[in-house]
Amino acid sequence: MNEAELRAELTALHQTLVETALVAWTAGNVSARVADDRFLIKPSGVPYERLTPESMVLCDMDGRPVEDSALKPSSDVFAHAYVYRHRPDIGGVVHTHSTYATAWAARNEAIPCVLTAMADEFGGEIPVGPFAMIGGEDIGKGIVETLEGHRSPAILMRNHGVFTIGGSPRAAVKAAVMCEDVARTVHLSRQLGEPLPLAAGDVDHLYDRYQNAYGQ
């Protein structure tokens, strides 16, 4: 996609966050890599219903808006920039405070892989990254370092919320939707007992099939 197409795609994906109830008020954001040295991101504090393709803020890889930007980028811009700089395979990043996932994050607890749908999408547990201050690079650093040891495109940041990554912004939004879905199901399952673990070999098999054979 070119920049114009990505601006439209980002606008639509922010509506998906609203429709899937992953965000409240102006919290949360999606970004998309446009080129080696540019990415687009949600403006800071703008209500979802007012977002347009034009309101997405074009930034350089240090998270600074490029010259002709009218709006300030999301205050999470430096976390997104860090991810794009260190992960050239990543085309999209999503951040939410989705309810159940954030409830795990507040306890500093990873979500164990006890569902086939988790093995499919995450290839194992969804890990927790460190507590880090908003507005600097520490969050980005925590994301990249924690995800190195996992197949999961989602990470819970302690006492904060969720970040997801993907080859495209749509893939990252999918990971955010599925992360909340499994966070909720495993939470509920654990309320009345202990969910059974999946065998590591079964997780591998499910992950391989889903990543390679699922879809068109």
Q: Which stretch binds a second copy (CB under 8 A): 5-13, 82-90, 107-115, 141-149?
A: 107-115
Angle, CA of 131, 161 and 16, to the nearest 5°: 155
How distant, in Å, are the alpha carbons of 63, 130, 170, 195, 198 from that of 33?
12, 25, 12, 38, 35
48 versus 148: smaller Cβ distance to a second copy = 48
Q: How far is the CB of 153 from a second copy (least distance, A)?
A: 13
Give the contact letters, 146-185, x = binds to a second copy (CB under 8 A), - = no: ------------xxxx------------x--xx--x--xx
As a whole number of angstroms, the distance between CA 84 and CA 39 comes to 8
From candidates 37, 62, 145, 202, binder to a second copy by CB under 8 A: 202
Tell me 164's DSSP state.
E
Would you say 203 and 119 are in contact if contact means Cβ atoms under 8 Å apart?
yes
If one asks whether residue 115 binds a second copy (CB under 8 A), the answer comes out as yes
The site for a second copy, by CB under 8 A, has a size of: 60
88 versus 196: smaller Cβ distance to a second copy = 196
